Each structure stands twice: as C-alpha cells, then as structure tokens.
Homo-oligomer: A and B are copies of this chain.
Amino acid sequence: MSNKGLLIVISGPSGAGKGTLCKALISRNNKLKLSVSCTTRRPRNGEVEGINYFFVEQEKFKDMIEKDELLEYAQVYDNYYGTPRFFVDKNLNEGFDVILEIDIQGALKIKEKYPEAVFIFILPPSMEELKNRIKKRGSETEESFLKRFKCAFQEINYISKYNYVVTNDVIEEAVKKLESIIIAEKCRVDRIKQSDIFIQLQEGCLNE
C-alpha cells in the first residue's frame, strides 16, 4: 500500500503568522519537510543553496517553466520565484509530508495540480492584531499600510477554497491544530483504498 506523504498547503494574509507556525511545526516533526522554492534573485548574506532557496539563472528558470517543472511561479519586480516539482514529488514519494507556505494565488494553482493536497488557511486572531502585525513589519507610509491591510482583508474571501482554517492566536494551540489536521487527514476514508484495508487486516498497519 501507498506510504506517500501528504502535501500541506498553508496560506493566509500577510501578518497572520504563517512563517512562525510553519517553523514551529517543522521543528517538532521529523517526518515533515518545508518546500524549498527556486528563485532568480541573488542569495543574500547567510542564505544557503537548497535550504533557503534553489538559486537559478533566469534562463534556467524560464526553461523550468517551459518544461512544466514548476508547480506555480510568480514574478516579483525583476525576479522569479517558483515551487519546483522535483523537490515536492521526491519528498512525498519518500513518505515525507511536505509543507508549502505560499500565497493564495499560488495555492489555487497548486490545487489544480494536486487536488488531494490539504489546504489550510491561517487567520490572525483579530483585525486589531492584524493591524498591529502589519504595522510592526514596518509599512513606511499610511498609504502602504492601508493597501496591505485591505489586501489581507480581501484575501479572507478565498477561505472557501481551503479545507481548514486555523486562527493563530496562541502559537502552541495553532501548532497543535495543524498537527491534528495532519494526523486526522491520514485517517480519512477517502485517502485509503478499500483494498488496502483488507491487505492491512492480513498483514499490518494502516494509517501510519
């Protein structure tokens, strides 16, 4: 029977705390891997190839697009960012669960290619807190703050495209919810073939 890992897509508005949650989740679960993106931008100080990003030349990136080697990609100013298929597939096939922390547009593209992935939307605990968090990140002007806040608020309309919504109020609790979602998803009947159940009953264990 299949021991393929789960693909877990985590999105949410800027300031919801996705990054913190993903880091906490990864640090506590050695069967989880965070997807590593490809980018055409130069490495910054301390960034490590294959850990922070796969750094590639623009030509190589365009070649990857053409060969459908990216699950999704986006251009931000002069640079490209994308999710390489090989990293995701390799880890899933080896039985690792793979976390993709990605914006909503990217998540929708992933859903076309991996409808069986688990889509989780992270919410800030309140609008007040969302405002504070966006402010802390240092939006320079009132205008840029308002733009970010409005954008975050609009994104919430996409929640219905997701399977789960987790409020990031107390980090410990939010991480526990994410861990529970992963455990529960592996027990879902629609992920398990009926034939596997009979094989299990002959041989061994089912939802590991």
Contacts and interface: CB of A to CB of B under 8 A. Distances in A.
A197 B123 contact: yes
Contacts of A181: 180, 183-184, 187
Copies in the complex: 2
Contacts of A125: 204-205
Interface in A161-186: 162-167, 169, 176-177, 179-181, 183-185
A163 B187 CA distance: 8
A173 to B, nearest CB: 9
B167 A205 contact: yes
A165 B190 CA distance: 10
Contacts of A183: 176-177, 180-181, 184
Interface in A122-181: 123-127, 130, 156-157, 159-160, 162-167, 169, 176-177, 179-181
Contact of A207 (B127, B166, B179, B188): B166
Interface residues of A, number: 42
Given A180-B184, A184-B185, A201 B159 contact: no
Contact of A189 (B127, B157, B160): B160
Nearest to A118: B184
A123 B184 contact: no
A76 to B, nearest CB: 27
A86 interface: no
A123 B201 CA distance: 9
Nearest first, the 8 A-B pairs at minimum CB distance are: A184-B184, A180-B183, A180-B180, A164-B187, A181-B184, A167-B206, A127-B201, A180-B184
26 contacts: A120-B187, A123-B197, A123-B206, A125-B205, A126-B200, A126-B201, A126-B202, A126-B203, A156-B197, A156-B198, A159-B189, A162-B189, A164-B184, A164-B188, A164-B189, A165-B192, A166-B187, A166-B207, A167-B200, A169-B205, A177-B183, A177-B184, A177-B207, A180-B181, A180-B184, A181-B187
